[in-house]
Structure 1
């Protein structure tokens, strides 16, 4: 596992299901639990039910969600149900390790992008703002950079090299972008984001 092969001095034990973990001897409240969830239909409900099972079985357990979902509503819901952290797979291994360390000393971790998205969703549109602008999804700077590359027809390998990230991270970002705008493929991403003002396409006037 990445955690055990890194220089973080962390020991990790993996289980296929929550039931497997509950029947083990490693479910003490002092253990940090990483609950992994992939971006599939019903994942938000799976996170909720998983959290409920873990916390009802081991009250006070410190649970960190590890997922490729970057939906702020899902993050907030998980924290409200008792999770101590929410780590998205688009974050680097170093950031994920620091998140675990924060939780280990009693803190709570949530990605800054999730907080910004949640804040934008709670903020009323300013006077004179067009309905189109009001309804636009929020993208992080990294996602905007990837959208720019996708619109140029660049493959994941080139995007990863250009933006200094792994191909798997690029794929996670693209899946989240597609989900936000309900696109079925990269061509639709390019078409549906045509009206977005991307950083490297902004006017210098």
Structure 2
């Protein structure tokens, strides 16, 4: 990651306890807890994650594992992890996941999380009831287009000439409408609503 991304500085520790014992901790740091295999991943989530967050509750922790079980992902999130990155994802996606967590978001692979629960009715399905894209306001459609591009709230606010807090409110409302739990799900569940290159008109 450090070799491919100039803004990332990585430090390695062989255990959560070693990281905790380090003399200083940058509050903006993101901790990647890495393990391979079911047994090691379960131990990581149930012990190391709990240990680390008990010592530093505000730390942003991302689990990195070759396990893509929805149950494992949900367990990690419920215990306080801010993201779950599977080793099958590309390095570019992993870096984007870190960026999402860094700006206050939560990242879980959409394929793994969505398979754990029934998908809600998409806005396209609701068009049969006379709603369609009117299910969202034009401003929300603009924000969805930005979220689908992976743009953080600060960039969206600048681009659409609004405050970051207003962007957050819109995103919360969008997530509530389609029952999404994070920005990744917003992008996935609105796939049929907007093509990646589409940008709706402003109000």
TM-score (norm 2): 0.55
> Residue 197 of structure 1 aligns with which residue?
none
Determine the C-alpha separation between the residues in 1 that align with 2:111 and 2:95: 18
Describe the SS at the equivalent of 1:46: helix
- Segments of 4+ in structure 1 off by > 4 A? none
Determine the C-alpha separation between the residues in 2 that align with 1:68 and 1:82: 19
Determine the C-alpha separation between the residues in 2 that align with 1:12 and 1:18: 15
Among 78, 93, 96, the alignment partner of 2:94 is 96
Determine the C-alpha separation between the residues in 2 that align with 1:63 and 1:4: 18
Determine the C-alpha separation between the residues in 1 that align with 2:32 and 2:23: 16
> Residue 63 of structure 1 aligns with which residue?
61
* TM-superposed deviation, 1:35: 0.6
Describe the SS at the equivalent of 1:35: strand
* TM-superposed deviation, 1:53: 0.5
> Residue 81 of structure 2 aligns with which residue?
83
Describe the SS at the equivalent of 1:5: coil
> Residue 179 of structure 2 aligns with which residue?
none
8 Å CA contact 1:29, 1:59 repeated in 2: no
* TM-superposed deviation, 1:41: 2.4
> Residue 103 of structure 2 aligns with which residue?
105
8 Å CA contact 2:41, 2:65 repeated in 1: no
* TM-superposed deviation, 1:8: 4.8
8 Å CA contact 1:29, 1:58 repeated in 2: no
8 Å CA contact 1:34, 1:66 repeated in 2: yes
Determine the C-alpha separation between the residues in 2 that align with 1:46 and 1:7: 26
Determine the C-alpha separation between the residues in 1 that align with 2:24 and 2:68: 29
Determine the C-alpha separation between the residues in 1 that align with 2:6 and 2:67: 25
5+ residue gaps in structure 2? Answer: 120-203
8 Å CA contact 1:28, 1:58 repeated in 2: no
* TM-superposed deviation, 1:27: 2.8
> Residue 74 of structure 1 aligns with which residue?
72
In the alignment, is residue 38 of structure 1 matched against residue 19 of structure 2? Answer: no
5+ residue gaps in structure 1? Answer: 124-205
> Residue 187 of structure 1 aligns with which residue?
none
> Residue 7 of structure 1 aligns with which residue?
5
Describe the SS at the equivalent of 2:116: helix
